[in-house]
Amino acid sequence: MTNEKQSTPPRMNSTQAWVTYLSKVELPVLANTLRRINELTDSRNSTVNELANVILNDAQLTSQVLRLSNTVFYNQTRTQVSTVSRAITLIGFDAVKSMAISSLIVDTLLQRNDRPHLLRCLARAIHAAVQARSLMSKRNETALEEVFIGALLMNIGELAFWSCETQQATELEERLRLDEPPVEAQKSVLHTTFTEITRGLVEAWSLGPFIRDVVSPGQANSAASSLVRNSAEMARLSEQGWSGPEMNKVLEQLGRDIGESPAVVRDQLKVNASEATRVAVSLGIPQVTAMMPGAERGSGDAARAPDMDAELQLEILRELSQCLTEKPDINEVCQLVIEGIHRSIGMQRVALLMSDRTGNELVPRKLGGRGTEEWRGNLVIQKDGTGPLGSLLPLAHCTIYEPEPASEGVPYDRWLGKVPALTGPITANGRLVGLFYADNAACAYVPSKEQLAAFGHFIRNAQLCLTLLSSR
C-alpha cells in the first residue's frame, strides 16, 4: 500500500540527504501543512479563521477534527459539535490545532504504508502524547496541547522513515528482525539515526521552539520538555509492563516532572493508558490499540481484538432495519453494512465482492477503510476456490478465516490472504453471488467471537435485502 514512484528511490547516506528526501520527495504536502498550522500561534479572529480554512480545505481532515471534537478527551462538556468554527469556539484554538496535527500525521502516514514498525511507532506516539497531556498540571490550554503535540512529533523522523517504501527501510526491517541493536542498525543502513533525522525535520518543517527543545541533546530546558521526553520513554517501556528497573527510573523522573510520588504516577499512567486507546480509535486506527499496554499478548504481536462500539452497532442496525421496511436499496444497505463492520466492530479494511459478468469470479463492488485502494483494480477471487485467494471463499455461513503458515498472498497487498479475517457469503437461489471480507491488515490478531457474531448480524441484513429484491 504505497504511492507509485516513477523510479527507485536513491540510497541516502547522510542526515541531510534523508531530511531533504523526506521533505521534498516523499512528504512535501505534510511538511507544508504542518508548517502552516504551526505558524498559527495567536488566537486572534483572523488566525482562528486561517486555522478553520486550513482544516476545511481537506474533507478528510475536517471529518477527523469534528469526530475528535465530540470525544470526551477533548470535549468534556459533551456539547455536540458539528462545525469547525464551533469547535474552535467551544473547545479552544489550541485543542483544535492539536487535533488537526494528530489527524494529519495519522492519515498521511498510514495512507502511504502499513508496515508493523510504523504502526508500532504510531501506537507509542499516541500513548506518549495522551500521557503527557493527562499528567501535565492544569496550567492552561496552550501548555496542555504543546506537550501533546511535542510527544506526538518527538519521533517524527522515525515515523516519516517507516511510511516510505525504500530499499533501506526493507534492509533495516530485516536487521531489526534479527535483533540487531536498533541504533547500530540505523547507523549501518541509514548512515545516521532516527534521532538525527527527527532533529533535521523539526528545523526543516519549522515545528517550533518547544519541539526543538524536546528533541535537542542534553538536559531539557523546562519541566514540560522533560515531561514529554519521559512520557515517550515510558510509552516504549510500558509495552513490557509497568514494573522493572528501567520503568521505575522513568517513574521517578515523571514524578519529579509533576511533583508526585512514583506510586501515584504509576496509578495515573494505568488509567491514562485506557484513554490512549480511545484516542487511537477516534483517530481511526483501532488496530494500534493491541500494541498499547494492557492488551493481552500471546505469541509475538498477536493480541485481542479492540473493544466494539455496541451503541454505534445498534444505531447502524436500526438504520438498516429502517431501509428494509421502507424501500430497500441494495447499494444503500451494503454501504451501511460496510460502515457498520468498519466502524462499530473495529475492522480496519472491509470489502464487498460480487460476481463479475462471467459468473466465475468475485470482484470488488464496495470498499471501506485505509489500504483498500489497490484492491479495486486487482482483487479477484475465483469462485472455484483456485488461485492465491481461493481459501478466502466462505462456507455456508460467516466464519473466521485463519491462514495457513505458508499462505501464498498477493503482490499488491502484503496482508491479503496472510492474516486472520472475517468472511461471509451472499447467496441468490442457493448460489454464491458475493462475499463480505474484513481484516485488520498489519495487526494480525484473530477476530473475536463477538466480532464474528456482530459481523453476521450485518451480513444477514444485506442478504435479507437481496432476498426481498429478488422476490419482487
Please answer whether residues 149 and 115 qualify as being in contact, where contact means their C-beta atoms are separated by less than 8 angstroms.
no
Per-residue model confidence (pLDDT) at position 32: 93
More confident residue, 249 or 324: 249
For residues 387-413, give the mean pLDDT: 86
User: How many CB atoms within 10 Å of residue 153?
Assistant: 28
375, 412, 377: which is closest to 165 by C-alpha? Answer: 412
**Is the predicted pLDDT of residue 444 greater than 70, yes or no?**
no
Q: How far is CA 216 from CA 125, 146, 236, 241, in A?
A: 18, 16, 19, 28
pLDDT tens readout for residues 48-102: 888 999 899 888 889 889 889 988 888 888 788 889 988 998 899 999 999 999 9
For residues 317-344, give the mean pLDDT: 86
Angle at 212 between CA 58 and CA 19, to 5 degrees: 65
Distance CA(423)–CA(316), nearest Å, equals 20
For residues 441-457, give the mean pLDDT: 86
For the chain, the distance separating the N- and C-terminal CA atoms, rounded to the nearest angstrom, is 42
**Is the predicted pLDDT of residue 25 greater than 90, yes or no?**
yes
Sheet containing 399-401: give its strands across: 381-382, 361-368, 349-355, 431-439, 421-428, 399-401
**Is the predicted pLDDT of residue 12 greater than 90, yes or no?**
yes
Per-residue model confidence (pLDDT) at position 43: 59
For residues 229-253, give the mean pLDDT: 95
**Is the predicted pLDDT of residue 182 greater than 90, yes or no?**
yes
Model pTM? 0.69
pLDDT-based confidence at 40, cuts 50/70/90?
Answer: confident
Contacts of 386 (CB under 8 A, 6+ apart): none
Q: Which residue has the cell 481511526?
A: 284
Distance CA(104)–CA(61), nearest Å, equals 7
Please tell me whether residue 435 adopts helix, strand or coil conformation.
Answer: strand
pLDDT-based confidence at 9, cuts 50/70/90?
Answer: confident
Using a pLDDT cut of 70, give the percent of the chain over it: 93
Half-sphere exposure of 190 (CA within 13 A, CB side): 28
Per-residue model confidence (pLDDT) at position 299: 35
Give backbone dihedrals phi and psi of 455, rounded to 5 degrees, phi first.
-55, -45
pLDDT tens readout for residues 413-430: 878 998 899 999 999 888
**Is the predicted pLDDT of residue 122 greater than 90, yes or no?**
yes
For residues 247-266, give the mean pLDDT: 95
Please answer whether residues 376 and 367 qualify as being in contact, where contact means their C-beta atoms are separated by less than 8 angstroms.
yes
Per-residue model confidence (pLDDT) at position 294: 58
Highest mean pLDDT among 110-124, 142-156, 282-296: 142-156
Using a pLDDT cut of 90, give the percent of the chain over it: 51
Per-residue model confidence (pLDDT) at position 306: 60
Per-residue model confidence (pLDDT) at position 73: 87
Per-residue model confidence (pLDDT) at position 409: 81
Highest mean pLDDT among 251-260, 283-292, 306-315: 251-260
Helices and strands, counts by H and E, the chain: 20, 6
Helix (H) or strand (E) holding 438: strand 431-439
Compute the mean pLDDT over every residue in the chain, rounded to the nearest whole number. 88
Burial class (CB in 10 A: 0-12, 13-18, 19+), 81: buried
Helix 116-135 with 245-258: angle, nearest 10 deg: 40
Per-residue model confidence (pLDDT) at position 46: 66
204, 273, 268: which is closest to 235 by C-alpha? Answer: 273
pLDDT-based confidence at 34, cuts 50/70/90?
Answer: very high
pLDDT-based confidence at 6, cuts 50/70/90?
Answer: very low
For residues 112-137, give the mean pLDDT: 91
User: How many CB atoms within 10 Å of residue 41?
Assistant: 12
Per-residue model confidence (pLDDT) at position 5: 42
User: DSSP secondary-structure letter at 445?
Assistant: P
Per-residue model confidence (pLDDT) at position 199: 97
For residues 277-290, give the mean pLDDT: 84
Contacts of 367 (CB under 8 A, 6+ apart): 338, 350, 351, 352, 373, 375, 376
Distance CA(356)–CA(457), nearest Å, equals 26
